[in-house]
Structure 1
Amino acid sequence: MRKLFLPLLIILVNCSKSQNEIQSADASVEEIIMEDKAPVNKSLLINAKTDDPSSPAAGKADTLSRKIIKNGNMRVQVGEIKKAQAQVNEVLKRNNAYIQKEEFQNTDVDENLNLTIRVPHKSFDALVNSFSDGIGSVLSKNISSDDVTEEYTDISIKLANKKLYLEKYRDMLKSAATTKDMLEIQEKIRGLEDEIDVAEGRLHFIDDRVNYSTLNLSLYKEKVRSSTTSRIGFGSRFIDSLTEGWNSFVSFLLGLISLWPFFLLIPVLVFLWRKWRTRKNK
């Protein structure tokens, strides 16, 4: 009986030990989550000043800087689209910029070349000034700056906490005693890895928008009634006008025909109205 009791006792002790480890880790993660939710004075982290360059505060002060996203929209009227496009390409080369998206529209009234340009943050102002000076006449210009330092700092702090907790769970997985404990720990690890991927993706997106500003440039050329329209003679225009008039008349006639159910109601309404007037007079 003692031989049977001792193995059972050992198993129970190991199970309770692993369960206590999971509970203690859960308590740790709750503390980390509370730290994530707690308000953080991010200005102290950004503007931190210390005399000891080896201190953690100094390291954070060096790595954290202002995160400013610059965006702009410009509409420029030009004489020739192709010539203006060549000038734009020269400006892009000088400022190490590139075209992310290009769209061209050609209508009877005007021509439009819409460009989405990505340019290094430091060259953004020089690029805008180059387009304002030598390309054509600026019809509209809108420049905006968005400070995302607070969002970036908040995500960075939470990301660091999640990575620390992920390492704790991985250490626990190595010493898990039962299959149930292993599955629970693996599920928590998967959840943390997904959250870390999302946070890192957001940080990469912010870094990309900070390092490379975006400018939406629209080159506009208004067409003059000269080449094609002036060649059309009076006879052709007269025939086109007659055709358009006839088409309008047919459309109007078909519209009236489509209302025939309402026309059938008119005699009925007149009959009822006269009958009502007769009874009223009597």
Structure 2
Amino acid sequence: MKNLILPLLLIICIHCSKSDGVASPRASADLVEVLPDDKTANFSKNELVPSPQEEPRENTPKKIDTISKKIIKNGEMRIQVSDIKKSLDQVNEALKKNNAYIQTEDFQNSDEDENLSLTIRVPHKNFDALINSFSNGIGSVLSKNISSEDVTEEYTDVSIKLANKKIYLEKYRDLLRRASNTKDMLEIQEKIRGLEDEIDVAEGKLRFIDDRVNYSTLNLSLYKEKIRSSATSKIGFGSRFGDSITQGWNSFISFILGLISFWPFFLAIPLIVFLWRKWKGRKKQK
């Protein structure tokens, strides 16, 4: 019996050792081959090639905005009307329709005419429509002058210089933070102050150009001449003759009053003549 058990135990041990010796080396080899590959792959993805979220913004190309056309439109109009007040109401109505407004207003009234001068600001897109509304229905257009000025090149030049000045300003500010002595700090601060002034001037110029481009300017003059109309022309010869007599008499009175205003000179003339004759008589006696 003992002779049978020992051979069986020997066979079982040999079988187990064979199965373990074949499977474990293969499995360990697979692990050795796979694990290093996975680690290398993860390293290259996470460290060698940064994700888009981790890339600094300074390395991304900035989009350069293209400047559209900058056109300044101005105009002048002189319109003869029969009633200044009524025409002004029509002007205000046209301004409301075109989102325009009156910037300045000047009224002059003389014996010969009435003149209302308006400086109007109107959105660029409504400029032509406003001109057309004034040309039709308000009165007789005596003169009209429309001009356009392309300032795109000037605007672009100022914009580029402004961008460069801002870059230099940031560089000087960075130098100021790293300055080690008072002399360097004062020199850098002076440079910064000069650049800030130049930047303010450039930005102000761009704002001025934008304002002139976005809102056109129209100088409108409403003119009413004070002359005899068709109604007054019906006055007869007698009335006109009486008006002429009155006007002549008023002119004569004005002349007399003008002469009277010179009375000191009239009193001085006889005195001068008397002194001159007296002096001449004495001269003859000698």
Q: TM-score range by the shorter chain?
A: 0.5 to 0.7
Residue 176 of structure 2: aligned partner: 173
Aligned counterparts of 1:213 and 1:224: Cα–Cα separation in 2: 35
Residue 83 of structure 1: aligned partner: 86
Aligned counterparts of 1:80 and 1:253: Cα–Cα separation in 2: 47
The secondary structure found in structure 1 opposite 2:74 is strand
Aligned counterparts of 1:69 and 1:250: Cα–Cα separation in 2: 61
Q: Tell me the percent identity.
A: 70
Map residues 1-282 of structure 1 onto 2, 5 A cutoff: 59-61=64-66, 64-225=67-228, 233-234=243-244, 236-246=246-256
- AA at the equivalent of 2:95: L
Aligned counterparts of 2:262 and 2:132: Cα–Cα separation in 1: 54
| Range with greater deviation from structure 2 (168-177 or 246-255) | 246-255
> Structure 1 residue 224: deviation in Å?
2.2
- AA at the equivalent of 1:224: I
Would you identify which runs of 4 or more consecutive aligned residues in structure 1 move more than 4 Å? 230-235, 246-255
The secondary structure found in structure 1 opposite 2:72 is strand
Aligned counterparts of 1:142 and 1:215: Cα–Cα separation in 2: 10
Aligned pair count reads 199
Tell me: CA distance 1:96–1:180, structure 2 relative to 1, closer, same or farther (3 Å). same
Structure 1 unmatched runs, 5+: 1-53, 256-282
Tell me: CA distance 1:254–1:156, structure 2 relative to 1, closer, same or farther (3 Å). farther
Aligned counterparts of 1:92 and 1:172: Cα–Cα separation in 2: 54
> Structure 1 residue 79: deviation in Å?
0.8
Tell me: CA distance 1:111–1:181, structure 2 relative to 1, closer, same or farther (3 Å). same
> Structure 1 residue 93: deviation in Å?
0.1
Residue 4 of structure 2: aligned partner: none
Tell me: CA distance 1:193–1:142, structure 2 relative to 1, closer, same or farther (3 Å). same
> Structure 1 residue 244: deviation in Å?
4.0
The secondary structure found in structure 1 opposite 2:252 is helix
TM-score (normalised: structure 1): 0.64
- AA at the equivalent of 1:222: E
Tell me: CA distance 1:78–1:179, structure 2 relative to 1, closer, same or farther (3 Å). same
- AA at the equivalent of 2:141: V
Tell me: CA distance 1:138–1:252, structure 2 relative to 1, closer, same or farther (3 Å). farther
Aligned counterparts of 1:212 and 1:122: Cα–Cα separation in 2: 9
- 1:120-149 per-residue CA deviation (whole Å, 9 max, x = no partner) reads 000000000000011110000000000000
Tell me: CA distance 1:238–1:158, structure 2 relative to 1, closer, same or farther (3 Å). same
The secondary structure found in structure 2 opposite 1:224 is coil
Tell me: CA distance 1:170–1:254, structure 2 relative to 1, closer, same or farther (3 Å). farther
Tell me: CA distance 1:137–1:253, structure 2 relative to 1, closer, same or farther (3 Å). farther
